[in-house]
Amino acid sequence: MKKILLIEDDFTLSRNIKEALTDANWQVEVAYQGAIAEKLLQREFYDCIILDINLPDKSGYDICQHFRRYNQSTPVLMLTAFGELEDKVQGFECGADDYLTKPFYIRELILRIQSLLKRSEKTAAAVKEILTVGDIVIDLSAKAVSRQGKTIDLTPRELQILVKLAENQGEVISKKELIETIWGRSIDINTNTIEVYINFLRNKIDKPFGTNSIRTKPGYGYYLDAQ
């Protein structure tokens, strides 16, 4: 089931949209404020974003522009009460994929979303494989990692560990599982080796950005937290 984030502060409109999209067999989450929306966007994956421009605490333009710094693939459909060309141009320049002016027919909104989802699926099939966890972007085909738009140089082992954690975002991976995934079962690797590599990763992935994404669950293992 496709997952959609609706960012709209009008309670009546957001309720009507959510009901219609749920009836269309989509999972819908609603954020009424820009700050909450940005936290959700960094923590969760969505197949499509519906974004109102005029939010009480933050402009939809700013939210879209910030989102595009670490996610260039998820389609964004902007909603606005204005139909001026300048507004549309600004929306597209911020990274929006489509634009719908209020008032609009719910049926038209559904058709626009369907079109964006189909286009996104075709694009995903054609482009290189990308893993995104919050603002961490891993290009699997190019073996490249970036965070907040900055390139991070990792060794092959460090990259393998990061990919394993990213593929299981939020799930705790034991030291033993990491060893078996990267070195295999036939090689006897001390668990201290994993601790050393995790420390290397933290110095490159978290420390320069003031974050704590690679976390330890004592007695169990490690997990990647996009928050």
Locate the domains of the chain by residue range: 3-126, 130-224
Residues with Cβ within 8 Å of 209's Cβ and at least 6 positions away in sequence, in order, are: 147, 148
| CA 180 – CA 164 distance, rounded (Å) | 11
pLDDT at position 227 is 64
CATH fold of the domain at 130-224 = Arc Repressor Mutant, subunit A (1.10.10)
- What pLDDT, on the 0 to 100 scale, is given for residue 126? 46
What is the structure's pLDDT at 52? 94
pLDDT at 188: 62
- pLDDT score, position 199: 92
Fold match between domain 3-126 and domain 130-224: no
Q: What pTM, to 2 d.p., does this model score?
A: 0.57
Q: Please identify which residue in the block is written with the tokens 């974050």.
A: 211
194 with 179: CB under 8 angstroms? yes
Domain 3-126 has CATH 3.40.50.2300: yes
What is the 3-state secondary structure of 29-96? EEECCHHHHHHHHHHCCCCEEEEECECCCCEHHHHHHHHCCCCCCCCEEEEECCCCHHHHHHHHHCCC
> Computed from CA positions of residues 196, 198, 204, 206, in that sequence, does the dihedral angle turn out positive or negative?
negative
From the first residue on, what is the mean pLDDT of each consecutive set of 10 residues in the chain (227 residues)? 94 96 96 93 91 92 89 89 74 87 93 89 63 88 88 89 90 89 66 87 94 92 85
Which distant-in-sequence residues (6+ apart) come within 8 Å of 167 by Cβ?
A: 131
